[in-house]
C-alpha cells in the first residue's frame, strides 16, 4: 500500500479512527478524508470480507453483510474468533506505521493512541441509507441491520469486553449525523482535521 504525505500531514504521525454503526457514513467520509489529506485508508470490514472470500463466500457483492450469506459468516465469527483476531492484529500493525485513517469497529478500544471519532445516527436513518445503497426496502434493511448489529455486538463483547454503540469512552468527538448530508459531515471533519488534529497534534489529544 502506497504511503502518501500531503503538505498538511508531512512530518506528522497522524492516526485517526472513525467509527459508527452500519449506515452512519463512516466508510464514505473516511475514504474522502484519507484522499484529501494524503493518508492511508484501512477498513476492518473490508479485511473481514477478504477473509470471507478466502473461505468461499461471495463477499465482494454490494450489501453482502446484510445478506443471508453475510449473516452466516457472522455466525461463524461468533463461533470462532480467529477471523476477528487476524484482522485486528493487522489493523494494529498498520496503525503503528502512522499516517492512517482506520475505518473500524474495534480500534477505538484496542488502539491506545490516535484521534477517535464516533458518527451517530438513528436506526431508521441508517436503515434508510443502507436500503438506498443496497436497493432494499426500509423494513428489510432494518431487519437485516438489527440482526447484523446484534451478532456483532455479541462478538465484540465476548472477545474484548466493550459494548459497541453503547460505550463511548474512547471517543474524542461524537458527531450526530442525523440532520447532516454526507458533504456536511465531510466539511465538519475537515474543520476538525485542520483546526484540531493537525494543528494541535495527535499525541496531545489521545485519551489513552
Q: What is the pLDDT of residues 115-172, one digit of tens each?
A: 999 999 999 999 998 888 888 888 888 988 998 899 999 999 999 999 999 999 999 9
The DSSP bridge partners found for residue 120 are 176
Angle, CA of 151, 156 and 157, to the nearest 5°: 95
Average pLDDT, the chain: 88
Residue 125, domain member (yes or no): yes
Per-residue model confidence (pLDDT) at position 13: 83
Cα angle 92-206-165, degrees, rounded to a multiple of 5: 70
Band (pLDDT 50/70/90 cuts) for residue 97 is: very high
Domain presence at residue 8: no
Which pLDDT band, with edges at 50, 70 and 90, does 185 fall under? very high
Task: Compare 12 and 51 and report the one with higher pLDDT.
Answer: 51
Measured between alpha carbons, how far is 130 from 22 in angstroms, rounded to an integer?
Answer: 8
Span of 12-21, 35-44, 132-141, 184-193 with lowest mean pLDDT = 132-141
CA distance 21 to 143: 14
Please count the structural domains in the chain. 1
Residue 6 inside a domain? The answer is: no
pTM: 0.87
Residue 33 belongs to a domain: yes
Please give the average per-residue pLDDT across 162-190, as a whole number: 96
Per the domain annotation, does 61 fall within a domain?
yes
195: domain range? Answer: 25-204
CATH classification at residue 73: 3.40.50.300
- In a domain? residue 5: no
Residue 45 covered by a domain: yes
Residue at 62 is within a domain: yes
Amino acid at each position: 500500500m502506497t504511503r502518501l504525505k500531503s503538505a498538511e500531514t508531512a512530518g506528522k504521525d497522524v492516526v485517526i479512527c472513525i467509527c459508527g454503526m452500519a449506515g452512519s457514513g463512516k466508510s464514505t467520509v473516511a475514504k474522502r478524508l484519507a484522499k484529501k489529506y494524503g493518508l492511508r485508508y484501512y477498513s476492518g470490514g473490508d479485511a473481514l470480507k477478504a477473509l470471507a472470500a478466502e473461505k468461499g463466500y461471495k463477499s465482494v457483492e454490494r450489501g453482502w453483510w446484510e445478506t443471508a450469506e453475510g449473516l452466516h459468516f457472522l455466525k461463524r465469527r461468533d463461533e470462532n474468533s480467529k477471523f476477528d483476531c487476524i484482522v485486528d492484529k493487522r489493523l494494529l500493525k498498520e496503525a503503528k506505521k502512522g499516517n492512517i485513517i482506520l475505518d473500524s469497529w474495534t480500534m477505538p478500544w484496542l488502539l491506545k493512541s490516535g484521534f477517535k471519532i464516533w458518527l451517530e445516527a438513528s436506526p431508521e436513518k441508517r436503515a434508510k441509507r443502507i436500503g438506498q445503497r443496497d436497493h432494499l426496502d426500509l423494513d428489510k434493511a432494518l431487519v437485516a441491520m438489527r440482526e447484523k448489529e446484534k451478532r456483532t455486538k455479541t462478538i465484540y463483547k465476548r472477545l474484548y469486553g466493550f459494548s459497541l454503540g453503547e460505550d463511548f469512552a474512547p471517543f474524542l468527538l461524537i458527531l450526530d449525523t442525523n440532520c447532516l448530508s454526507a458533504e456536511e459531515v465531510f466539511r465538519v471533519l475537515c474543520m476538525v482535521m485542520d483546526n484540531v488534529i493537525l494543528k494541535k497534534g495527535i499525541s496531545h489529544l489521545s485519551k489513552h
